Amino acid sequence: MSFDKTNQPVKPLRIAVLVSGSGSNLQVLINAVQQKALPIEIIGVISNREDAYAITRAKDAG
1, pLDDT greater than 70: no
Q: pLDDT band at 5, cuts 50/70/90?
A: confident
2, pLDDT greater than 70: no
CA nearest 18: which of 37, 39, 44?
44
Q: How many domains does the chain have?
A: 1
Angle, CA of 14, 45 and 9, to the nearest 5°: 15
User: Domain range holding 48?
Assistant: 2-61
How many whole angstroms separate alpha carbon 44 and alpha carbon 9? 23
What pLDDT digit, counting tens, does each position of 19-49 carry?
999 999 999 999 999 999 999 999 999 999 9
Contact 51, 23 (CB under 8 A): no
